[in-house]
Chains A and B, each alone.
Chain A
Amino acid sequence: MLLSSLVFLPILFALIMVVWPNKTTLRPLALGLSLIQFALSLTIFWKFDPSSSALQLVEKYPWIERFGVNYYLGIDGISLWLVILTTFLLPIIIVGSWQAIEDRVKGFHAALFVLQTAMLGTFLAIDAIFFYIFWELSLVPMYFMIGIWGGSRRIYATIKFFIYTMVGSVLMLVAIIYMMFLTQEAFGTMSASLIDFYRLDIPFIAGQFFSLQTLLFFAFALAFAIKVPVWPFHTWLPDAHVEAPTPGSVILAGVMLKMGTYGLMRWTIPLFPEAAEYWAWLFLLVAVVGIVYGAVVAMVQPDIKKLVAYSSVSHMGYIVLGLFAFNETGMTGGLYQMLNHGISTGALFLLVGMIYERTHSREISKYGGLAGVLPFFTIAFFIVTLSSIAVPLTNGFVGEFLILLGTFQANPGFAYVAVSGVVLGAVYMLWMFKRVFFGPKGELVKDESHPLHDLSPREFAVLIPMGVMIFWMGLFPNHFFHWSNASIKHLVESRSNYILTVKDTNTKTQSAALVEGE
C-alpha cells in the first residue's frame, strides 16, 4: 500500500486544500501535509532491498482487463531517488512560495499536490497506459500554474509549453498502443505492462529508418527528448521558466525535466536496445551540442532566470550524454546528475525568486555590488553556484565527473567536446555572479527608498536543506549509489535483453507466517 498512498495521498491533500475554510492556516497545513508525504516516502528505505535489481513494493490490480491494462506500481533503484527528490522538494517549494503567491492560494496548493501525484505516478507506474495518464496529467496543473500565477507573457508561454510537450506525447501514445497489439501477437493476450513490453522481441533492421523498432524507438524518444529538453527541442523551456512563478520553475527544473530523462532510462533504452545502440551517436551528438549550445546562449542572457533556464539545457545535455554512454559509470553519473540538477537548479530558481521578490527585476545589468549589501544571500548563491559549476566536494562534481568519464570510456570523441562545458559553465555562472554581486552598486541595489533585506529565517529554512544536500551528495555519493547500483548494473549488463523481475514483497511475510504456523 505504500506506493499507492504515496501517489494518491496528494490528491486527497489537494481536496483538503480546496475545502479548507481558513485561509491563514492553509499554508502551514499544506506544509505539514507535504512533510508527512516526505516522511512517508522515506519509509521506502526500510522496505527496499538495495541488493536486488528487481521491481519492488509492487502493487498490481486489474483495471481494464480487456486490454490488459493494470493498476500497476513498483519501484527499483532507478526510480527510488527520483521519488525521494520529488517528495523532498515539495515542502521546500511550499515554504519558498510563502510570500511569492498571494492570490488564489487554495488553488495554487491544490495544483501543487495534483502535480505531486502526477510526477510520482510517472516515476512509479509500470503499466504503459497508467504511466501515460500520469505523464499527461502532469501538464494540467503546470499549465494552470504558469497560466494563472505566471508573468506577463504567461499565456503565450503556457500554450507553447502545453502544445510542445503534447506533440511528443501523442506519438508516444500511438507507440504504446502499437506495442500493446504486439504483446497480443506475441503472448496471446494483450498487455500494457512494461514488464511484458520488455519481453517483446521487436524486429530491428539496421540502417532503415522505417522499420518497426526504430519507429517505436523514436516515438518514445521524441516525447522524452522534448520533455528533457534535448537540443533542438528546448525553446519552450526558457519561455516557460521565465513566465512561471518561482515554485513553478523549481518543480519544472527540479522534477518535471527528469521525467524525460527517467523515461529514456526506464522506457526507451531497455525497450528498444538495438535501436538505442544504433542511434546512440545521434543522442550523444545532440547532448554534446546541447551542453555547448546551452552554455554559450546562457552566457549572453540579460535576464538571470533565462540564464538559469539555458544552463538547464546544458546540464540536461550532460544527463543524456551519461545515459547514452551505456556503461555503469555514465549511467550512474546520469542518474546522479538528475538529482544534482534538481537540487542545484531548484535552489538557483529559489534564489532568483528571492531577489525578484525584493526588487521585482531579474535584469542582470540593473544589479551589481549585492555582496556588500546581502552577505548571507551572497554566500548561499555562491554555494549553489559552486554546485552548478561542479566544483569538487559538491554534488555537481560527482555527477559531471562520472558522466564525462563514462562518455570517455564509451566514445572519447564526445567527451573531448563535452569537457568544454566545464569551462563554459564556469564562464556563464561566474560572469553573472560578478555582474550581480561584485563591482559598484547597481541601480536596484543602491536605491535608498527600497533598502534590501538579507535572508529571512523562512528563506534560511528553504536554503539550508539544499545546502546540506549539496555537500552530503558531494562528500558521500556512495550513500546514494548504494541504493541504485544494483538496478543500474542490471540495466547496463542485460540491456540487450532486459528483463525486470518482480520481487514478491509478500514472500517475507508469507515465510514468516509459515514459520509461525510451524
Chain B
Amino acid sequence: MSHQLLISTLILSPLIGFLINGLRYKRHSANVAGGVATAAAAISFLSAILIFMELLAMPKEGRQIAVNFFEWMTVASLKINMGFLVDPLNVIMILIITGVGSLIHLFSVSYMHHDEGAAKYFAYLNLFLFNMLVLVLGDNLLVMFVGWEGVGLCSYLLIGFWFKDSDKAAAGMKAFVTNRVGDAAFLLGMFLLFVSFGTLNFQEINNMVPADPTFSWLSPLTLGTLFLFIGATGKSAQIPLYVWLPDAMAGPTPVSALIHAATMVTAGVYMIIRLNPLFLHTPNTMLVIAIIGGLTAVMAASIGLTQWDIKKVLAYSTVSQLGYMFLAVGVGAFTAGLFHLMTHAFFKALMFLGSGSVIHAMHEEQDIRKMGGLKKHMPITHFTFLIGWLAIIGMPPFSGFFSKDEILWLSFHSPLGHPALWALGAVGAVMTAFYMTRLMALTFWGKSRVPQDVHPHESPALMTIPLIVLAILSAFAGWLGVPHVIGAALGHLPNILAEFLSLNIKPIPNLAEANVTTEIILMSVSVGFALISAALAYHMYVRNPELPGKFTEKVKGLHNFVYNKYFVDEAYEGSIIQPLVQTSKSIWFYVDVNFIDKATYWISDIIKGGGSLVRSLQNGNLQTYAMYVAIGLVMTLTFILVR
C-alpha cells in the first residue's frame, strides 16, 4: 500500500503542480509559479530516491515494485491496466528524470524570471515530467504510449512557447508531426506484438519471446520491432526523422536541456532496452538499429562542425550522441546504451544550461561568432562547461569516456557488431572532439568578439548551482560503469551499473572472451585521435583564428552542403510536404468539387432528362397517341410472328 502511495506521489506530484499553475496561470508571478513547479519536481525526486532505497533493500532477485491503479481498457482479449512497474532499469530513469528535472526547474526560475508567460511555462514543464514518468514507469506498451505521446505534446507546447513568432510555432508543429509519423509506426509495432503475443505487458512479452532468434525479415516479430524502432527514430531524433530536433531549439533553453537532451529524446533507447529480450530475438532489426545509430552519430556530428548557433551545435551533438546510444543497443550492449544515456543526460543538460547561462549573459545572442573570451566574465559557467566538454569528448576519467568507450568496444567486439560500426563510432568521436572544442574556443576562449553594447556577466546563483551539481555528476558518474579492462587494472573495481541491471538486461549472446590487448589498443586509438582532433580545433580556433575561414574557402562546396544540413529539410519539403499539399489541393478541386460532386449533378440531370422525355410522351396530342398505339401493335405482332 505504501508502494502505491509512493508511486502515486512520484507520478502525480508534477501533475498537481501543472494543475495549480495551469489553473492560475494569469495570477501567478514567475517566482510563485517557479516555486510551485520546482517543489513538485523535488517531491517527485524525493519519492524517486525513496523508491530507489526501497528497491535496494529488496533481495536482488525480487527487485521490483508493481502497482496497478485501475483497468483502463478491457475489450475481448485486450486487457490494459493502468499499471506501473519499478525495477532497476527504470529506477535509474526516474532518478535522472526527476533529479535533472528538478535542477532544470530550479535553473528556470531565474532564467524565465522576466517572461510574462512564466506560469504557463512551469505548468508545461510539470506536465512534461508527469508524462515522462508515465512513459518510463508504464508496465505495458499502451501506458508507455500515453507518456510517449504526452511528452511529444509537451514538447510541442514548449517549442512553440513563444507562439507569437510564426517560425517558433512552426517548429513546434514540425516536432509534433514528425513525432506522429514515428507514433503511427509505434502503433503498428504494438499491433504486431499484440497479434503475436496476445498481450502488451512488457514482462509477459519478454517472458514469451522464443529462445532462438528469427532471421526472417518478414516475421511478425521482426516487423514489430522494426516498427517500434521507427517509432524510436521519431522520438529520439534518428535518421530519417531527426529533422525536428534542431528546429526544436526554438523553445526556451532549459526546455532544450530537459526535453531535447536529457530525457524525452532518450525514450526510444529506453523502450528498446525495456524490450531487450525481444530485440535480441530479431537480429535483423538490431542490425538496422546499429547502422542507423552509427550513421546518425557521424552525420549529425559532421553538421555540428559547421554551425554557428550555440544551441544548434548542441542540438546536432545531441542527435549524434543519441546515435551512439542506438549503436550500443543495436549491437546488444544495452547496459552501455543506458550508461551513455545517463552520462549524456548529465553532461548535455549541463552544456545546454551552460549555453542558457551564456545566452542570458549575452542578451539573447546565440551566434558564437559574436562571443569569444567569455571565460573571464563567466568563470563558473566556463568551468562547468569545461567539464561537460571533457566528458563529451571522452577524456579519461570523465564520465563520457567510460560510456563511449564501452559502446565503441562492444560495437567492435560483440557478435552483433562489426569493425565498420566501430569505425563509424570512432569517426563520430573524432568529429565530436573537434566541434565541441570549436564551440568552447569560440564561446569562452580566445579574443572577445562581443559587441560593444553587450556586457556579459556571470549568472545568478539559482542558475549556477544546477550547473555545479551537473558538473560534479558529469565528472564522476563514469565510475558507476567502469569497463572490465580498466577495473581489472585498478584492482577489481566492479561495474556497479551492470551488476545492478543484471536482472533486467539479457547478456549479449555468444560474447567471446575479451582480448585485453585489442581492447586497450582500440581505446587508445579512439582517445588518441579525439585528442589530436581537439588539439587541431584548438589550434585552428584559438591560435590561428584565420585558419578556419581559409580552410572552408577551399572546400566551399562541401562546406555549404554540410552547413545547410545536407539539404535534408529542403528535400523533405520538396519531395513530401509540397507534393502532399499540391496533391491535396488537386484532389479537392478536381476529384471532389469537379468530379464526385459534378457526377451527382449528371445523375440528377439524367433523371431530370428522363423525366422530361417521359413527360413529352404524354403531351395530350391524340395523333401522337395513335402513333404510339400503332408502333406498339406492330412491335407486338413482329415479336409474336418472329418467335
Binding site for B on A (CB under 8 A): 163-164, 232, 234-235, 293, 296-297, 299-301, 327-329, 332-333, 369, 371-372, 375, 386, 391-393, 397-398, 401-402, 404-405, 408-409, 412, 415-416, 419-420, 422-423, 426-427, 430-431, 434, 437-440, 475-478, 481, 485, 489
B195 to chain A, nearest CB (A): 6
CB pair A300–B588 under 8 Å, yes or no, is yes
Closest to A409 in B: B195
Q: Report B62-76 CB contacts with A as 1/0, cut-off 8 Å.
A: 000000001111111
Residues of B within 8 A of A408 (CB): 188, 191-192, 195
Complexed CA–CA distance, A243 and B171 (Å): 35
Residues of B within 8 A of A426 (CB): 176-177, 180
A313 to chain B, nearest CB (A): 10
CB pair A427–B177 under 8 Å, yes or no, is yes
Residues of A within 8 A of B113 (CB): none
CB pair A372–B75 under 8 Å, yes or no, is no
Interface pick from B144-152, B252-260, B359-367, B540-548 = B144-152
Give the 7 A-B CB pairs with smallest separation, nearest first. Answer: A438-B169, A328-B76, A439-B166, A296-B584, A408-B191, A438-B163, A392-B146
Interface SS of B by simple majority? helix
Residues of A within 8 A of B169 (CB): 434, 438-439
Residues of B within 8 A of A333 (CB): 75
Q: A419-B184, A422-B187, A438-B166 are in contact. Are A393 and B588 (CB under 8 A)?
A: no
Q: A164-B600, A329-B75 are in contact. Are A438 and B164 (CB under 8 A)?
A: yes
Complexed CA–CA distance, A332 and B583 (Å): 34
Residues of chain B in range 185-209 having any CB-CB distance to chain A below 8 Å: 187-188, 190-192, 194-195
CB pair A327–B76 under 8 Å, yes or no, is yes
Residues of A within 8 A of B184 (CB): 419-420, 422-423
Per a CB cutoff under 8 Å, which of A329, A402, A438, A485 touches B160?
A: A438
A326 to chain B, nearest CB (A): 12
B604 on the A face (CB < 8 A): yes
B590 to chain A, nearest CB (A): 11
Q: Report B156-191 CB contacts with A as 1/0, cut-off 8 Å.
A: 100010011110011011001100110110011011
Closest to B585 in A: A300
19 contacts between A and B (CB under 8 A): A232-B596, A235-B592, A296-B583, A300-B581, A329-B75, A329-B76, A392-B142, A393-B146, A398-B73, A401-B73, A419-B184, A419-B188, A438-B163, A438-B164, A439-B163, A439-B164, A439-B165, A440-B164, A489-B76
B132 to chain A, nearest CB (A): 14
Residues of A within 8 A of B573 (CB): none
B587 on the A face (CB < 8 A): yes
Q: A296-B587, A422-B183, A478-B72 are in contact. Are A430 and B176 (CB under 8 A)?
A: yes
Which one of B170, B184, B604 has the greatest number of beta carbons of chain A within 10 Å? B184
A293 to chain B, nearest CB (A): 7
A166 to chain B, nearest CB (A): 11
Complexed CA–CA distance, A481 and B187 (Å): 22
B368 on the A face (CB < 8 A): no
Residues of B within 8 A of A327 (CB): 76
Known: A164-B600, A423-B181, A423-B184. 15 other contacts (CB 8 A): A235-B600, A296-B584, A369-B164, A392-B145, A392-B150, A397-B149, A408-B188, A408-B191, A422-B180, A423-B177, A426-B176, A438-B164, A439-B169, A475-B72, A489-B76
CB pair A329–B78 under 8 Å, yes or no, is yes
Complexed CA–CA distance, A438 and B176 (Å): 15
CB pair A431–B173 under 8 Å, yes or no, is yes
Residues of A within 8 A of B142 (CB): 392, 401
CB pair A404–B176 under 8 Å, yes or no, is no
Complexed CA–CA distance, A405 and B584 (Å): 27
Complexed CA–CA distance, A412 and B218 (Å): 14
Residues of B within 8 A of A415 (CB): 188, 191
CB pair A430–B585 under 8 Å, yes or no, is no
Residues of B within 8 A of A489 (CB): 76
Q: A327-B76, A478-B73 are in contact. Are A404 and B181 (CB under 8 A)?
A: no
